[in-house]
Amino acid sequence: MKDSLNKRIDTLIASTKLFPWLRETKEQIEPFDFSNEIILITGAAGSLGSELTKQLTLCKFHKLILVDFSETASYILLQDLKLESNETIFFELLDISKRHAVKAVFKKHKPTMVIHAAAYKHVPLLETNPYAAIQNNIFGTEILAELALEFSVKTFIFISTDKAVKPKNIMGMTKSVCEKRLEHYNCLNKTLFISARFGNIIGSNGSVLPLFKRQMEQHNSITITNAKASRYFMTKTKACQLILHLASFKRKASNIYTFQMGDAIRILDVANRLIDISSNTFPNISLEIKTLRPGEKTEESIISDNEILQNTHHPDIFQILPKEEKSNRKTAWPEVLEINLETSTTKIKSILKRFT
């Protein structure tokens, strides 16, 4: 019965009625030629990182370095890859906020490309653990960026989020700060730092469809935080294909990009469609609408009021350009470095807001 439901959920994900911008045919994975690249992926065992890894195994590459903090998730990925040897693919278990450990990996493998997907990303949880978000998302990214410069990495792709736009929550603020810091490092004209900003990945860990499925299995109900809440969605396959396309982009005035994601979808519509296709397995499912959780917004945006979109040579990739540059970000950075476990959430948000 569960297998049947999973198949129907897969059908829902591919539904052109719910997600009209997705192609009816199966998305094709384009092989890229990274023959000369040593590619390091952080968060490699996560939803996005593991899909990137699997797509890269279909490409040509010199070496693939898979970095993650979770032993269990890394082991699952190792099993999924069904590797016969480890001559070109290496697993490294480490915390990206520990500089000495990260530097040892850079020194050992000398990566030429970094795809930084590791992050804490669950909004309500990070609202009550702000320093952990700062340490992992900001300080971890800073360590990676500095080492990328030190070891002459050619391209550094940072996985950002639409929550970095007009950020209300700690998670979005940390991503926004990272986008701005990496643009600052681009001014050095050494490593090319690219930020990829997009919305929810359909079916990823912690995303809405698996959450609804668990609620149905455990309580025969679905909970929604707001009837008007909407989000942008992408499939993992498409998102990772576009991330790999970004690896071929050249340095420009702004190196922040977003992807074609269609119109925002109401979460209520997703829930109702899921209830409809699951009615035989889970009859009489109740739908409860509550209030937004701490840090959540009703709607997300792709760009801020201070930004504009510009087409690129790829039809599904758009460059994000600033209308004007803020001048207080450099002076705010020392305050970010002073954030510690004793710093209040209110003060943390006040400091980070200066970057947005």
Distance (Å, whole) CA 268 – CA 272: 6
CA nearest to 48, candidates 155, 156, 247, 198: 198
Cα 315 to Cα 354: distance, rounded to the nearest angstrom: 33
Return d(Cα 23, Cα 25) in angstroms, integer.
5
198: Cα within 13 Å, side-chain hemisphere: 25
Known catalytic membership, residue 110: no
Q: Of 163, 175, 180, 213, which one is the catalytic site residue?
A: 163
Dihedral pair phi/psi, residue 71, rounded to 5°: -65, -45
Question: Which residues touch 104 (CB under 8 Å, ≥6 apart)?
Answer: none
CA dist., res. 239 & res. 286, Å (int): 33
Dihedral sign computed on CA atoms, order 343, 167, 298, 18: negative
Q: Which residues contact 226 (CB under 8 A, 6 or more apart)?
A: 267, 289, 290, 291, 292, 296, 298
* DSSP states along 306-348: TEEEEE-SSTTEEEEEESS--SSHHHHHHHHHT--TTS-HHHH
30 neighbors 243 (Cβ within 8 angstroms): no
**The two three-digit tokens of residue 98, written as one number:** 């520990």
What is the phi-psi region of residue 326: left when phi exceeds 0, alpha when psi lies from -120 to 50, beta otherwise? beta
Report strand pairing: 286-289 vs 256-259: unpaired
Q: Helix (H, G, I), strand (E, B), or coil: what is residue 207?
A: coil
Q: Which amino acids are annotated catalytic? A: 163
